[in-house]
Structure 1
């Protein structure tokens, strides 16, 4: 068995989707690809079902550095991580066979909580209040105090995550070729008593961001890591840096990140 041609498919277990995927499975086998049931055996991991599913499979497989990820969207789903459509699987297999593909490398962030556990994020990390009360966070850049934030929360987005939650809070859309991360505010309070920058800002890959939560009764905030949410007791701080890891995805040569941004938003 040629391990370089091992495919693992990750998708919702739905009867209609299963029937749609059968021709793709047969076409892959016909072209000498091996379908494996364990993602650890795959060198190409394929997500079917839009960006949410793509984020989920990257997380569930541990942000693997020794394989490629591929996204396939369905007609009713958004897919900024998905270069391929389930409606055109012939085109997808032909592109693979004729090598009309390139590898895209997406930066990710490391999120350390309370100096104990570290998580990776491909899209964004967020910290938000869970009660009808503002959360107060001291923001440090490279251990230097920058501001005291008071509001609903903060978002720390990767370049690819800049088009999601971050964009909805008026953050900038960033080219994923730039190794950086962006911090955006969620409903900050700005008046004569409280003052923040009031806009998103971008940090270089060498910077370290630390968010210290003031323990004033809002001690159970929600921490979002991509599309998963955690309520962690007594969160004291989050330390966020750009990771040494990347996520390698398969892309069509004629389909750039900005092509997909244009199709999605314009």
Structure 2
């Protein structure tokens, strides 16, 4: 792994520099170079929790030619973060030796109105922006599945299944399964409106299309990971599993399910 030597710290400022200075010296001692432009890096490091990791991936363009590494601070846990500030040396050792394992996380691609395309690592969410239910036609592979009416829908990756999706009783999905999950937000189910009423999981070859029923709730809020986008006159959003993956360093004896257990149990 001698070619992976250029490290970029996302949102690197003076306060962070003081905290990381001993670690930066350790990195340099081990032959790593700290760069100021993420385009020159082949290792991109975020310091913080999962939110910081998601931002680092998004703001650096979902790079396919580098490793992303998440480092948590004290008293933080992260399902995307294998390392803590206290074991930075272990991270460097892992990246320098052959026993390093690379984990690959699936990425969703969402296209709004057939024009604007966005990638996301956690989830796409579409919700009502006013005190009124939102109605959507749910279409799978060009076949109508159901008409949804409620507060909104969440479409989550396997790693995103532990976030917003889990808080709404969605299932936790193993990231080794290339798939995405659709979960309802407060759906209406009565004699007039009927939905599946539970989460469902789609395989990697599936295409999901959500068509907004124009009934006065024409300006919903769309979230890609932890950012909301204000897009006027949303007609539809098409969601697929992207060919992109986010590569991260995996510590030995620290599987995805180890982190799930540590975080929730």
Query: Is structure 2 residue 113 aligned with structure 1 residue 150?
Result: no
Moved more, 98-107 or 160-169: 98-107
2:181–2:201 contact (8 Å) kept in structure 1:
yes
TM-score by length of 1: 0.96
In structure 2, the residue corresponding to 1:188 is in which secondary structure?
Answer: coil
TM-score by length of 2: 0.96
Could you say which residue in structure 2 is the equivalent of 1:177? 176
2:95–2:249 contact (8 Å) kept in structure 1:
no
Could you say which residue in structure 1 is the equivalent of 2:10? 10
1:133–1:218 contact (8 Å) kept in structure 2:
yes
Task: Extract unaligned runs of 5+ from structure 2.
Answer: none
CA distance in structure 1 between the partners assigned to 2:214 and 2:79 by the alignment? 38
| Alignment root-mean-square deviation, CA | 1.3
Could you say which residue in structure 1 is the equivalent of 2:47? 48
In structure 2, the residue corresponding to 1:57 is in which secondary structure?
Answer: helix
Q: CA deviation at 1:93?
A: 2.6
1:12–1:49 contact (8 Å) kept in structure 2:
no
Query: Is structure 2 residue 118 aligned with structure 1 residue 119?
Result: yes
Could you say which residue in structure 1 is the equivalent of 2:18? 19
Task: Extract unaligned runs of 5+ from structure 1.
Answer: none
Matched pairs, number: 264
Alignment of 1:17-96 (within 5 A): 17-96=16-95
Detail structure 1 runs of 4+ shifted over 6 Å in the superposition.
Answer: none
Deviations 1:220-239 (A, max 9, x none): 11000000001210000000
1:3–1:42 contact (8 Å) kept in structure 2:
no
CA distance in structure 1 between the partners assigned to 2:231 and 2:122 by the alignment? 20
In structure 1, the residue corresponding to 2:76 is in which secondary structure?
Answer: coil
Alignment of 1:222-237 (within 5 A): 222-237=221-236
CA distance in structure 2 between the partners assigned to 1:228 and 1:204 by the alignment? 25
